[in-house]
Amino acid sequence: MHKEAIRKKYLDLRINYDRNNMISHSDIISESYYKLYKDYDIFLLYISNKGEVDLSLLFELLFENGKKVYIPVVSGDDLEFYLYEKGSQLKVDKFGIKVPITSSILKVELEIERDSKIIIGVPGIAFGLDYNRIGYGKGYYDRYLKEKKAVKSVGIAYDFQLLDRLPADENDVKLDQIITEMKII
């Protein structure tokens, strides 16, 4: 199956995923993610959109424990990560995604210069046991990960989004790990 066919099929599945399962599985994933990676200093995460794993519980756990959280904002062809704190004001961007209002918010690049342990939670539409992923097809996360090799990348998915293998090309960047409500790969 080609990327576009996989993208369409699994986006439809994700958008139509049972709401009760979505909530309970999101919480399981959030708790597991926190337990596994709580020793990290900086968390680059996303605010869920179109049925993505909801990280609300993970945000709560991170805020309670004084961790720094940044979420992405598309800037041209790139992703920039901006500080996200409890109560941060959000707006909807041109893609329909909630993002922080960026005026006077520090970008994560300032933090990367230090010896901080940084982890990025990567959303997607489909994930392969070969650590490839299919997103919306714009390459934002792939370009970011290609530049930031020191950042640990973890795909965040529901178990039904896992396939054995995914088609990939030279621009695709493999993830370091994938976490679902059922397993950690």
Mean pLDDT of 150-159: 95
Please, which residues bridge with residue 78 across strands?
75
Indicate whether 94 pLDDT > 90.
Answer: no
Q: Is the pLDDT of residue 179 over 60?
A: yes
Mean pLDDT taken over the chain: 91
Instruction: Give the residue, 98 or 10, on which the prediction is more confident.
Output: 10
pLDDT digit string, tens, across residues 10-26: 999 999 999 999 999 99
Longest CA span, the chain: 45
User: What tokens appear for 135 in the block?
Assistant: 């997103």
Ordered by where they begin, the domains of the chain are: 3-70+117-179 (3.40.50.10420)
Identify the pLDDT of residue 121. Answer: 98
Per-residue confidence (pLDDT) for residue 112, from 0 to 100: 55
Residue 29, CA distances (Å) to 71, 127, 155, 160 in order: 18, 15, 11, 13
Tens-place pLDDT, residues 103-129? 545 555 545 556 678 999 999 999 999
R_g (Cα) of the chain, nearest Å: 15
Give the alpha-carbon dihedral of 104, 99, 122, 112, to 10 degrees: 0
Q: Cβ contacts of residue 96 below 8 Å, gap of 6+? A: 49
Read off the pLDDT of each residue in 134-162 and give the average, rounded to a whole number. Answer: 94
pTM: 0.91
CA proximity to 59, closest of 50, 73, 51, 71: 71
Summarize pLDDT for 30-42 with one digit per residue, the tens: 999 999 999 999 9
Q: Say what the pLDDT of residue 74 is.
A: 87
